[in-house]
Amino acid sequence: MPIPQIIIDPLPRTMEMIFDAETRRRLENLGTLITFEPEPPTEEELDRVLGETDVLIGQTTLPSSRLERAPKLRAIFNVEGNFLPNIDYEYCFAHGIRVLVASPAFATSVAEMALAFALDLARDISAADRDFRHGVEKYGLESNRNSFLFTGCKVGLIGFGDLARAFRALLSPFRCPVKAHDPWMPDRLLLAHDCLPATLDEVLSTSDAVFVFASVTSENQGFLGKREFSLLRKGAIFVLMSRAAVVDFEALTEAVESGRIKAATDVFPVEPFAADHRIRTLPNVLLSAHRTGGMKEAFLEIGRLVVSDLELVLRGLPPISCRVAQPETVGRMRSKPVENS
Amino acid sequence: MPIPQIIIDPLPRTMEMIFDAETRRRLENLGTLITFEPEPPTEEELDRVLGETDVLIGQTTLPSSRLERAPKLRAIFNVEGNFLPNIDYEYCFAHGIRVLVASPAFATSVAEMALAFALDLARDISAADRDFRHGVEKYGLESNRNSFLFTGCKVGLIGFGDLARAFRALLSPFRCPVKAHDPWMPDRLLLAHDCLPATLDEVLSTSDAVFVFASVTSENQGFLGKREFSLLRKGAIFVLMSRAAVVDFEALTEAVESGRIKAATDVFPVEPFAADHRIRTLPNVLLSAHRTGGMKEAFLEIGRLVVSDLELVLRGLPPISCRVAQPETVGRMRSKPVENS
Amino acid sequence: MPIPQIIIDPLPRTMEMIFDAETRRRLENLGTLITFEPEPPTEEELDRVLGETDVLIGQTTLPSSRLERAPKLRAIFNVEGNFLPNIDYEYCFAHGIRVLVASPAFATSVAEMALAFALDLARDISAADRDFRHGVEKYGLESNRNSFLFTGCKVGLIGFGDLARAFRALLSPFRCPVKAHDPWMPDRLLLAHDCLPATLDEVLSTSDAVFVFASVTSENQGFLGKREFSLLRKGAIFVLMSRAAVVDFEALTEAVESGRIKAATDVFPVEPFAADHRIRTLPNVLLSAHRTGGMKEAFLEIGRLVVSDLELVLRGLPPISCRVAQPETVGRMRSKPVENS
Amino acid sequence: MPIPQIIIDPLPRTMEMIFDAETRRRLENLGTLITFEPEPPTEEELDRVLGETDVLIGQTTLPSSRLERAPKLRAIFNVEGNFLPNIDYEYCFAHGIRVLVASPAFATSVAEMALAFALDLARDISAADRDFRHGVEKYGLESNRNSFLFTGCKVGLIGFGDLARAFRALLSPFRCPVKAHDPWMPDRLLLAHDCLPATLDEVLSTSDAVFVFASVTSENQGFLGKREFSLLRKGAIFVLMSRAAVVDFEALTEAVESGRIKAATDVFPVEPFAADHRIRTLPNVLLSAHRTGGMKEAFLEIGRLVVSDLELVLRGLPPISCRVAQPETVGRMRSKPVENS
């Protein structure tokens, strides 16, 4: 069998960021690596290599005109984390080229953060720490006037992909009844994860703690707006983990400002976020600068996911660890890529 | 069977705080209640009732001279949360009087808070929120320079009673290897809860996250001092959940100040705590004003625990839900009672 | 501190049966052992040693007349498995002598067997094997006419002590709704183990699979009779794990004979059981000759439980691993001891 | 949107067998059903309908010559349970036709049976019942000479697909260390299910209980033969759940006959199995006539899986509940179909 040729064009990642020493060794054992770093390949460079390339790791733009020049190509691994409109997916499906994304790498990191945010809001932890630093802390019961026990509270999940499932697993010792809404998932899958399938309005109006894990698609931009926030129960907590584009951020800010709900958000309509936005000063919000996924450990996990699947693909087996692009949905994804890690 | 007489002397709790309507009804069905509130009974009042009392709920001082006047007494329920030196325990053991404390009522509330504290420290959550409020937030990977994934990290537990066990259960989906140290617990109990038994020094020196749940006893006051903090790994997190008296608080402050560790504490040597103590300004600490247990829900749970056991005791069955005073250890407890809720 | 003196009178067990080499070594490190084997001590032998004995392991008869001669006695460990009427328990309680039984040693062995029995009955496993051996096996769907999926079926538990709790844990991946009946246990304990508290009749009439773990007491002999078996649903399975004395065995036999239920039993009114009893020939019963607990591993676990608690007791700490005799209930126990292992 | 046309050709299943009333209703709501029962469609019948067919449920032979006449075909659901060589898979992959099999329907039923078999062998349950029926039962310890506790024993899994994963979940409360071997699965997937990846020989030689869940493929027929059985530990149990074709059945019989191992098998080289085969008389084997999967409940689950995925497919979403044919592996499957349920 000829030695496979593997192109790597990792931007906005770097080789060092996504491959630890051991994973790098495993990768090098799989074939001949041609790495383009820190700059993506030029047209000429691509021209020279595409003809003999078996696998591409990275976000290289791949219209059919380029794909046609890569007759041996078997798999493309996105290491940024979102399916992007950089590839002619139709061409890939018709020609048996697997397109994969290493997004499950972020599940652990995001899931534990979602739980942390919820506990912080339910128990007023950062708010109480702030009071302590200002010398105005309250002790005992008095300090817990606005707190509630997270254990056993009613949880609602919006979106039930990799991230939400990792989060659901963390909830299990808390004995929370969980409702979930995801229009792409069948009821039986939700039930198999101990979630009660529910409409969006039901999730919003009956939960003590609502978590948004939904990706942005062509169909759901801004679907959480003024009406939806008004459905939340007084005192509920709202945790936004996925993308700012799924909410009307001003409506969220107003809901927090009114004091009706507490909220945590990891994402903002523009990042860096406006220095003077009033949400920065509200007492009942927890602010996180797009930092729940972007950890050293998560980036190294990307490398492990890719190499694990690449080992299978090169042995003629189906990939398992990365998420596989599905013809039905890949064209509907609308997440903006990160510009740098 | 004569109707049992039940004295209630709830200070520092109140009837309303510990009994919700349903529990109150169950309690009233069990016998004749004689309640002393808001003041504890005077000597004369006690004199009038002790002779016919079957059960006492509260923290009434009960030297043998009083117990001798209560020949029908079968059970005493402490609703403050700690075994106190207010009772002649020897007398009770010799006369078959059950002494119980409703301390498991706090386990849920404390356990979820311990996890919240650890997640906050591991992922720098309140620190990042503080930066955001000051307009100096960092985004993505850069913001996570000092963070680590809590999932899978090495956990060490000091003390393995009710609180620690409730906490251990919350850890299970995080797949953390857990070491535990508790000189009162046999190895097999620790192993049965998926903890590796370890010495104190081993727990301190090998864990990424150390949690202190140990009660104060006659033997362990200030047992976590300068030497012990120096054993902690650089970057470790230290979470103090039980009583300030088990640590040398200045040594803890120094360890945090040095930047070697991050810490969270719910307890302080004196409460309210000194307004000018320098720990209030350190960036790598999370401060909580003795608020992890004192929740409305936990206080109502006290009532439920008491009534559940009282129902058994009055049917001639052993109590199950409260913690039962043990002759071997009850005399060694040294927790200060709370002054008010 | 003087070296403790430990008497061991293991009959019907033997030293070898209950102590493996390592546990034996731990035991020997705890004090001076005086072992009576294979015969229990005579009155004279006891006379010689009682005065200096700190701990007794075994089933020695101990009326107050003997206990009075043992002023140093701190703990008595039953290694047979049931609290027997061989001890003046009142004396022990009044004098602070711990009486313990190593019965949790059998929990693992009995629990997995209970599950095995239920799966066998639900899926007709031994019956189908019998058919196969007789050359009349049926294949596929046809062979499963009387079978049902155990996963998800309605389970009812009668008795909720150590054995039932160990069994409950094994059920968790089967997602069975579980009702439990135990008049000595508070609802909250049952709920904490994910069981719905229920009356006996409710358990019997609404379950697909009923398990009896209840010990024999002065109050419940023969409490499962004709009326109770008639409450079982047609096709239900009935698994008897504790003692034959809790059922009317003829009524059980009739219920099986009628074909209305399937049953498994590990216990019989007399053992060895009547050679000509008609239950031996019924197709829808699974017969087990009092063999669910009596395994080598379980007996060695007895030794480990005893030594683990003895280590605590001799350090002045409360025992934890064995079951502690409770003043309220120890006098009500009526299990017959085994005559030999 | 035009009403979808759905062909159903269920043989060897029947409509009644796989669709309960509610699922049938959901199916009828999805489009126009054209059912061929009890006979599969003739060429002429197919000719009349293929042109307008959107979905086919069943095992209809579909060479490219037929597929070309079905330009609207989007999905094919196998309801027998195995990918068969009845379809031109290449054509389907190139034309975006989803091919699915409802095999996960059997996972629950097979998994609980595998556990039941193992418990029976470890604890000698059906053997002891046989003795009891023959009046030669042994009581207590003596009856357990060849038994071992399943809890905590070393488990080895061969094959780690749907069935093995469902089985792994049932093991979790037994605290068994589990090794798994599956050449199509990456280590990280095995680790994520709490299995240690291992070679075949390692699984065989170090386990107390070995379970075979591997499907038959073009590569593994008869891969468990004399050499492999000789690697098993003395006293080990061997449970064959998948297909007889993966073992050398005579070698298995010899291993059982020698007394070195105990075994359970649900499958036989020919079914019905030879009436005079000596394995039928061996004491240390458990025989099951291909009955672990074929339950009423499992067949109805097939219908639910199909309809759940069909609802997604017709909404333009990817299927989730059935297993999707993978281009890399579908051509290697070699399971014989069942002839009738």
Measured CB to CB, residues of chain B less than 8 Å from chain C are 93-94, 96, 184-189, 304-305, 308-309, 311-313, 316-318, 320-321, 326-329
Q: Mean of the per-residue pLDDT values for chain B?
A: 96
Minimal Cβ distance to D291: which of C139, C288, C296: C139
pLDDT at B341 over 60: no
pLDDT at D339 over 60: no
Strand D323-324 to D98-101 pairing: antiparallel
Which domains can be identified in chain D, with CATH numbers? 5-102+296-332 (3.40.50.720), 107-287 (3.40.50.720)
Of all residues in chain D, the percent with pLDDT exceeding 90 is: 96
Please tell me the predicted confidence (pLDDT) of residue A335.
79
Please tell me the predicted confidence (pLDDT) of residue D93.
95
Looking at CA atoms only, how far is residue A101 from chain D in angstroms? 16
Minimal Cβ distance to C151: which of D108, D152, D174: D108
Minimal Cβ distance to A186: which of D188, D321, D326: D321
| Contacts of the segment C86-89: beta carbons below 8 A, 24+ positions apart | C86/C59, C86/C60, C86/C61, C86/C62, C87/C61, C87/C62, C88/C62, C88/C63, C88/C64, C89/C325, C89/C327, C89/C330, C89/C331
pLDDT at A339 over 70: no
pLDDT at B340 over 60: no
Dump the DSSP string for D59-86.
Answer: ---B-HHHHTT-TT--EEEE-SSS--TT
Show which subunits contact A, needing at least 3 CB pairs below 8 angstroms. B, D
Averaged pLDDT for residues B220-239:
97
Express each pLDDT in C73-90 by its tens digit.
999 999 999 999 999 999
Q: Is the peptide bond preceding residue B38 cis, with omega within 30 degrees of 0? A: yes
pLDDT at D340 over 70: no
Averaged pLDDT for residues C108-117:
98
Averaged pLDDT for residues C314-324:
97
Give the predicted TM-score (pTM) of the model. Answer: 0.97
Tell me the pLDDT band of A49, cut-offs 50, 70 and 90: very high
Of all residues in chain B, the percent with pLDDT exceeding 90 is: 96
Q: What is the arrangement of strands in the sheet containing C75-78, beginning at the earlier edge strand?
A: C32-35, C5-9, C55-58, C75-78, C98-101, C323-324
Express each pLDDT in D17-62 by its tens digit.
999 999 999 999 999 999 999 999 999 999 999 999 999 999 999 9
Rounded to a whole number of angstroms, the distance between the first and last alpha carbons of chain A is: 37
Averaged pLDDT for residues D177-205:
98
Please tell me the predicted confidence (pLDDT) of residue A317.
97
Looking at CA atoms only, how far is residue B296 from chain A in angstroms? 7
Tell me the pLDDT band of A334, cut-offs 50, 70 and 90: confident
Lowest mean pLDDT among B31-40, B327-336, C223-232, D207-216: B327-336
Q: Mean of the per-residue pLDDT values for chain A?
A: 96
Q: What is the ipTM of this complex?
A: 0.97
**Number of Cβ pairs closer than 8 Å across B and C?**
56
pLDDT at D290 over 70: yes
Question: Please, are residues C120 and D125 in contact by the beta-carbon 8 Å criterion?
Answer: yes
Averaged pLDDT for residues D249-276:
98
Minimal Cβ distance to A321: which of D94, D186, D305: D186
Tokens 């999940």 label which residue? Answer: A157
Task: Count the Cβ atoms, other than its own, within 10 Å of residue A117.
Answer: 31
Residues sharing a CB contact under 8 Å with residue C137, sequence separation 6 or more, in sequence order? C128, C131, C143, D272, D273, D287, D289
The residue of A188, A300, A321, A322 whose CB has the most chain D CBs within 10 angstroms, and thus the best one to mutate to test that interface, is: A188
Angle between helices A107-123 and A162-171 (to 10 degrees): 50
Please tell me the predicted confidence (pLDDT) of residue C336.
73
Looking at CA atoms only, how far is residue C54 from chain D in angstroms? 31
Question: Please, are residues B318 and C161 in contact by the beta-carbon 8 Å criterion?
Answer: no
Residues C309, B186: C-beta atoms closer than 8 Å: yes
Q: Which residues of C touch D256 (CB under 8 A)?
A: none
pLDDT at D333 over 90: no
Minimal Cβ distance to C185: which of B188, B305, B320: B320
Q: Mean of the per-residue pLDDT values for chain D?
A: 96
Express each pLDDT in D57-86 by its tens digit.
999 999 999 999 999 999 999 999 999 999
Please tell me the predicted confidence (pLDDT) of residue C334.
83
Express each pLDDT in A168-220 by its tens digit.
999 999 999 999 999 999 999 999 999 999 999 999 999 999 999 999 998 99
